[in-house]
Amino acid sequence: MTEISELWSLQCMMFMLLAVGMVLKQKGIIKDEGKTVLTDVVLYFFLPCNIINSFRMEFDLKILHKFAVLLGISILVQVVSYGLSRVLYNRKPAEVKRVMQYCTIVSNAGFLGLPIAEGIYGAEGMMYTSIFTIPMRVMMWSAGIACFTESPDLKSIVKKIAVHPCIIAVYIGLGLMVLQKPLGTMYAGILQHSALWVQSLSGVVVTALDKAVRSAGSCTTPLSMILIGMMLAEVPLRSLVNKDALVISAMRLGIIPLMVLIGCKLFRVDEFLMGVCVLITGMPAGTTSAILAAKYGCDYTFATKCVVVSTLLSMLTIPLWCMAI
């Protein structure tokens, strides 16, 4: 009962932050330009800081084994999602079909899933989620983009993935965890023979950097939820009822995570890892679907409905999945 109470408390907190975002947008306190800036700030700064923080734990070889299991499951999820996207929507109009394909392949796991995983499973859950979302980011910049346009070349895909801020944060986090060093101490050896005042100054700077990353990372969840609330405010609630949007919501929030749950049970995957996998695959449609639909001449309004409807319903399905696992 205590765990369920904490889960609902987390959901209530997220609903409140969503409401704040909606009010800020509806009252015009934050304009469209502000939403764009906030999106970039969260994606390129606060979220990477939070990912780095999630790797601050004792390292052992069992963690590498769990990473391998997570990557294997995530790759299978992406392969199945891609297969479903290719066969399920062929009777839909082209502009709707492309949106539905993208929403099936790409979820909001990298933006919404990370703070939710941290809230439910703590820093360890955040760390494993960072690893689990790597294959999805690969699909996002390859097969995902191909839903709206021609397949990008391999060089551009590798470049976008390798230098993505969240992936760079994973590199840094892994390095800190393996070396078992606080952020910034990798330079200590260089400065150990320097003057005393240089060593003292470097110590202050390293400590300040470490605290800054910790502090910035703690801002990720509230900022992310406020931003999603602002997105929800852009679509009138009366116009949300859409059959195809409900189909995407059922696929993203129910069918795919159920398949993952059954697969993990059959292969007796560690319960903690199974929980992370089910939770993250049960995330709503990716917010980038609306951006790409508008850019490439698809149904932007429908894409926005898919994001909004699946996000609203996820506030109900996420607690249900957590209780189920």
How is the chain split into domains, by residue range?
Answer: 2-324
Mean pLDDT of 255-265: 95
Here the tokens at position 151 are 């397949």
- State the chain's mean pLDDT as an integer: 81
pLDDT tens digit string along 34-83?
877 887 888 788 888 888 877 776 777 788 899 999 999 999 999 999 99
Q: Which residue has the higher pLDDT, 4 or 323?
A: 323
pLDDT surpassing 80 at residue 325: no
Q: What pLDDT sits at residue 6? A: 66
CATH architecture of 2-324: Up-down Bundle (1.20)
Q: What pLDDT sits at residue 278? A: 95
Instruction: State the Cα torsion 241-247-253-259 to the nearest 10°.
Output: 170
Highest mean pLDDT among 35-39, 184-188, 292-296, 304-308: 304-308
DSSP secondary structure letters along 116-173: HHHHHHHHHHHHHHHHHTHHHHHHIIIIIHHTTSSPPPHHHHHHHHHT-HHHHHHHHH
Residue 88's pLDDT band (cuts 50, 70, 90):
very high
Mean pLDDT of 17-21: 85
Residues 234 and 298 sit within 8 Å (Cβ to Cβ)? no
Mean pLDDT of 228-245: 77
Rounded Cα distance between 165 and 216, Å, is: 14
pTM beyond 0.95, yes or no: no
Q: What pLDDT sits at residue 182? A: 59
